[in-house]
Every structure is written in C-alpha cells, then in structure tokens.
C-alpha cells in the first residue's frame, strides 16, 4: 500500500472521528440563574431569524465571525448546539483546536429581551426575575461562565447594541416596568371601552350618559339590594323549613296517637315526611287506625261485655285492650271490679 493511500485513509479516519465526537455546547440552562441575576426560559426563545443565519462569534465580537451553529435544540432544561468552524479562517482553526483539545467548552447566547416578569422561584420560594420572551441574535464561544449551564450571556437592546453588563439588570427591570404599565393601560382602556346594554342601564337605574362615578355608585347600590334580597330569602327559606318540620311532626304524632304507627317509628317517619310529605301522608293514611276493644263493647243483658270477652281475665284485658279496660273502669266500674276478681 503506498504512502498516499495510507495518508488518505488516516485523514478519513481522523475526520470521521472528529465528526463523531463533535462537541455539544450549552447555550442556556433555564434552571440556573445567570450572573446578571435572572433566569432565561427556553420556551420564550424566538429562533427563526437566527436559524436563517446561525452565526458563531468569538466573545460576542461582531468582527470575529468564526463559523456557524448547527442543530440548535432544547433538551430538558438546556438549549444546545454544535459548532462548525470556518476552516478558511486561521483564527477559527485555532479556536477549533482549543475545542478539540478540550480547552474551550463555553458558549454564550447574545439575546434581545422582549418580556420579563417577577415570579416565585419554585425551589427557593424567593421572588426572582424570569425572562419569558426573547430573541436569539447570535451565539459565541467564550471562556468565562455566567452560570453552570450557559457560560456567559450578552444582552442586546432593541437596536441590536450590546447593553453594558453593569446595566443589564436595570435594563431587564425597565422592561418589566414597561410591561406592567402596558398591561395596566390596556386594562384601563378595555374598562373605558365597556358599553352597557339598554337592559343593563335599566337594571342599574342610570342613563347612557352616566359617567364612571355614576356607574360605580349604581353597581354598589345594586350589590346592596342583592345582598338584602339574599338575606331575606335565607330567612324565608328557614321559616318554610321550620313550618314544614312542624307540620310533619304533628302528622306523625297524630298517627302514633291513632295507633297507626308505634312511637319507636317516630324519627323514621319524621325523616321521611321532611323528604317527601305527600308520600309519607299517603303511607300513614293507608295504615288502619287501631280500634279500642272497649269502643266495641255493647251491653248484653245488662252485663255490658260482649260474649266473646265475658271470660277475659284482667291480664287478657291489659294485654289486648288496655285503653278499653280503662274506659270500662270509668263508664262501668261494677264490670271493672268483676274483671279484677277474675
């Protein structure tokens, strides 16, 4: 095998190995607070324009274009990409060598912040700044970290000019204030644009020309009326419940007195009556009234006791018709005395 072929094979193996071992750089880790004091949320990133021209700079120097970024993507909490160095640029080749030898592993996104807000940190429970909307302007290889995920981070203003590191926090806070102010103004504008219907004007007792103060006062008055109506309704409902329970209890007590049901069934029938009065009333009325045997006593030959009970003892009377026995005691004491002697 000649030396030229061996050289080509070795070069091919070396190139393939480098391709297989292409370094992956971390642009951002949204779980880490950067040196500027805020969190950068990957979901808020806009990458469309960057992907059209994914320039790779060195230390955010626009004069040092060293290549481009490939395969920009989000994996878990990290924003990742692979570098492709310009092999026609001597400085880029030097940087590639540092990357290949493991001396340069840092990347940094250059971003334009579009929106940010204060949020409670789910881990520390502190209030922190979160950048919720931003655009990736460029990506750089760097050597000094800003957080444990992305090595550094540069902020550009709306004119694509780098914001001095000492002013970044103020810049972000100004964006938050502007966002809050815009939101408040929008809400105020929407409130002022509210148009009340004719029905609403009648309900509020105002005219179409009423100003904000008049509308507010009318709403307060309406609220007071509603509160009063609800209170009165609660009182009426309570009174109706009490009257209903009284009616049910009286019906059940009468059923017990008439012997339709026994006293130990009172609570059950009261509960049923409260739930469904008419059904309970029908059920009770279907139960026959217990007749007193004394009520059926017809005097026979002056004895006053039916023949089928002439031989009843006192115990039999007490067991079968105690109310009738008492009635005999009142109406015919002589018969009662005769029964006692049996």
- List per-residue pLDDT tens for the chain, 342 residues long: 443 333 333 334 334 444 446 789 999 999 998 878 889 999 999 999 999 999 999 988 889 999 999 999 999 999 999 999 999 999 999 999 999 998 888 888 998 999 989 889 999 999 889 999 999 999 999 886 444 544 467 788 777 777 877 777 778 877 887 766 555 555 555 555 567 788 887 888 888 888 888 888 888 888 888 899 999 999 999 999 999 999 999 999 999 988 889 999 999 999 999 999 999 999 999 998 876 555 554 443 445 677 778 888 888 888 888 888 888 888 888 888 888 877
In a domain, 131, yes or no: yes
Do 176 and 219 belong together in one domain? no
Residue 66's nearest CA partner among 47, 87, 97 is 87
Residue 65's nearest CA partner among 82, 86, 83, 81 is 86
| Phi and psi at residue 227, to the nearest 5° | -60, -45
pLDDT at 292: 57
In a domain, 328, yes or no: yes
Contact 129/118 with Cβ under 8 angstroms? yes
* 138 half-sphere exposure, CB direction, 13 A CA radius: 22
For 229, the domain range is 214-285
> What 8-state DSSP symbol labels residue 160?
S
In a domain, 199, yes or no: no
Do 38 and 178 belong together in one domain? yes
Q: How many CB atoms lie within 10 A of CB 219?
A: 12
* CA–centroid distance for 256 within its chain: 53
Do 281 and 314 belong together in one domain? no
pLDDT at 105: 86
Whats the size of the chain, residue-wise? 342
For the stretch 97-142, pLDDT in tens is 999 998 888 888 998 999 989 889 999 999 889 999 999 999 999 8
pLDDT at 19: 46
pLDDT at 242: 94
Do 90 and 222 belong together in one domain? no
CA–CA separation, 152 and 105 (whole Å): 11
In a domain, 206, yes or no: no
Do 138 and 262 belong together in one domain? no
Contact 85/92 with Cβ under 8 angstroms? yes
Do 41 and 153 belong together in one domain? yes
In a domain, 96, yes or no: yes
The helix or strand, by DSSP H or E, that contains position 107, with its residue range, turns out to be strand 106-120
pLDDT at 7: 36
CA–CA separation, 46 and 44 (whole Å): 7
In a domain, 264, yes or no: yes
pLDDT at 49: 93
Tell me the H-state helices in 62-167: 90-100
Cα–Cα distances in angstroms (integers) from residue 331 to residues 210, 304, 317, 335, 337, in the given order = 86, 10, 16, 9, 12
- What residues contact 70, with CB distance under 8 A and at least 6 apart? 54, 81, 82, 83, 84
**Whole-model pTM above 0.75?**
no
From 160, 182, 204, give the residue that closes a domain: 182
Show the tokens assigned to 271.
């509960």
CA–CA separation, 300 and 321 (whole Å): 19
Do 258 and 300 belong together in one domain? no
CA–CA separation, 37 and 26 (whole Å): 18
Residue 105's nearest CA partner among 17, 27, 18, 25 is 25
Residue 26's nearest CA partner among 97, 100, 108 is 108
Do 240 and 125 belong together in one domain? no
Do 61 and 102 belong together in one domain? yes
CA–CA separation, 268 and 289 (whole Å): 19
Contact 240/274 with Cβ under 8 angstroms? no
CA–CA separation, 133 and 118 (whole Å): 13
CA–CA separation, 130 and 132 (whole Å): 6
Do 156 and 75 belong together in one domain? yes
For the stretch 238-274, pLDDT in tens is 999 999 999 999 999 999 988 889 999 999 999 999 9
Show the tokens assigned to 15.
């190139």
Contact 160/166 with Cβ under 8 angstroms? no
């Amino acid at each position: 095998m000649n030396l030229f072929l061996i050289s080509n094979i070795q070069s091919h193996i070396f190139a393939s190995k480098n391709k297989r071992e292409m370094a992956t750089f971390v642009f951002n880790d949204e779980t880490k607070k950067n040196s500027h004091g805020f969190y950068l949320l990957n979901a808020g990133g806009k990458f469309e324009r960057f992907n059209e021209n994914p320039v790779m700079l060195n230390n955010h120097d626009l004069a040092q274009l060293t290549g481009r970024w490939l395969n920009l993507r989000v994996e878990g909490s990290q924003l990742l990409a692979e570098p492709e160095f310009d092999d026609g640029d001597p400085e880029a080749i030097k940087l590639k060598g540092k990357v290949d030898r493991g001396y340069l592993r840092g990347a940094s996104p250059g971003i334009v912040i579009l929106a940010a807000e204060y949020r409670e940190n789910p881990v520390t429970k502190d209030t922190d700044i979160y950048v919720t909307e931003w655009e990736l302007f460029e990506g750089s290889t760097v050597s000094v970290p800003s957080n444990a995920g992305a090595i550094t981070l540069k902020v550009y203003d709306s004119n694509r000019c780098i914001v001095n590191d000492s002013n970044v926090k103020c810049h972000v806070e100004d964006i938050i204030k502007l966002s809050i102010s815009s939101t408040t103004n929008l809400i105020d504008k929407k409130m002022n644009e509210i148009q009340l219907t004719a029905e609403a004007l009648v309900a509020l007792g105002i005219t179409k020309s009423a100003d904000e103060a008049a509308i507010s006062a009318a709403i307060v008055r309406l609220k007071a009326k509603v509160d009063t109506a609800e209170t009165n309704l609660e009182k009426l409902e309570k009174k109706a419940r009490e009257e209903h329970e009284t009616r049910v209890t009286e019906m059940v007590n009468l059923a017990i007195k008439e012997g339709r049901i026994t006293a130990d069934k009172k609570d059950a029938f009261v509960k049923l009556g409260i739930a469904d009065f008419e059904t309970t009333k029908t059920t009770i009325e279907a139960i026959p009234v217990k007749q007193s045997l004394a009520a059926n006593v017809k005097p026979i030959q002056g004895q006053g006791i039916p023949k089928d009970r002439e031989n009843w003892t006192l115990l039999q009377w007490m067991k079968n018709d105690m109310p009738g026995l008492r009635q005999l005691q009142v109406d015919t004491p002589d018969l009662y005395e005769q029964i006692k002697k049996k």
